[in-house]
């Protein structure tokens, strides 16, 4: 799902400016949940990290009778064209000498990505909650029946980070 491009160069043959441009263009923005973000456990629940919870919610967990409720991937896909346009403009600006443009664009894209995922959580059409889950929420003093939104902690746990180089294989 990542938007990627490839440019092959021999860095030793580039002038310092070109090397700086390539270094800036090698940065990536990642939207998701930090591994140390914890979901607040209710009484008798085992604590779980928001990132692990997010994986379960995104892909489903048949052992727990939890249907897939994709929100991260569709949220990012919904802004794909805007991301591509911002990256293109930032690359053009970098080649014209504005080496801050790529990082500024990645920050904007990160904020856009977080917002798009949160909007998907709020507005997405998901498999409804089971009657059992709704009753459990009521017992805990909650009244909402919207999937993925109980305390709001999970929705607020999304953030972004900017890294250098390739992520994953």
- What is the C-alpha separation between 82 and 76, in angstroms, rounded? 10
Host domain of residue 76: 15-38+46-162
Residue-wise pLDDT tens digits, 124-159: 999 999 999 999 899 989 888 999 998 888 999 999
Helix (H) or strand (E) run with residue 29 in it: strand 27-32
Which backbone phi and psi does 49 adopt, to 5 degrees?
A: -70, 145
Cβ neighbours of residue 15 under 8 Å, at least 6 residues apart? Answer: none
Task: Dig out the tokens for 64 from the structure.
Answer: 């727990």
| Domain annotation covers residue 5 | no
Binned at pLDDT 50, 70 and 90, residue 77 comes out as very high
pLDDT band at 169 (very low <50, low <70, confident <90, very high): very low
On whether residue 133 sits in a domain, the answer given is: yes
82 belongs to a structural domain:
yes
| 6 belongs to a structural domain | no
What is the distance between the alpha carbons of residues 132 and 154, in angstroms, rounded to a whole number? 20
pLDDT per position as a tens digit, 7-37: 565 556 767 777 777 777 788 899 999 988 8
- How many domains in the chain? 1
**Domain assignment of residue 7, yes or no:** no
Element (H, E) at 10: none
Gap between the Cα atoms of 87 and 80, Å rounded: 11
Specify which residues 159 forms β-bridges with.
32
**Is 10 inside a domain boundary?**
no
Q: Using CA atoms, how far apart are residues 110 and 99, in angstroms rounded to an integer?
A: 18
Q: 76 or 45: which carries more pLDDT confidence?
A: 76
116, part of any domain: yes
Note whether residue 9 is domain-resident. Answer: no
């Amino acid at each position: 799902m990542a938007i990627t491009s490839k440019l092959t160069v021999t860095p030793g043959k580039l002038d310092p400016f070109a090397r700086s441009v390539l270094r800036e263009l090698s940065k990536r923005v990642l939207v998701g949940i930090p591994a140390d973000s914890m979901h607040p456990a209710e009484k008798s629940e085992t604590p779980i990290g928001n990132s692990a919870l997010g994986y379960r919610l995104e892909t489903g967990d048949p052992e727990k009778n939890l249907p897939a409720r994709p929100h991260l991937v569709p949220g990012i896909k919904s802004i794909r064209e805007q991301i591509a346009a911002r990256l293109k403009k930032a690359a053009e600006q970098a080649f014209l000498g504005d080496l801050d443009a790529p990082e500024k664009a990645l920050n904007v894209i990160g904020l856009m990505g977080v917002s798009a995922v949160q909007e998907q959580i709020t507005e997405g059409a998901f498999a409804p909650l089971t009657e059992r889950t709704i009753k459990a929420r009521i017992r805990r003093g909650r009244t909402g029946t919207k999937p993925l939104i109980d305390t709001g902690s999970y929705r607020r746990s999304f953030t972004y980070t900017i890294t250098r180089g390739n992520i994953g294989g």
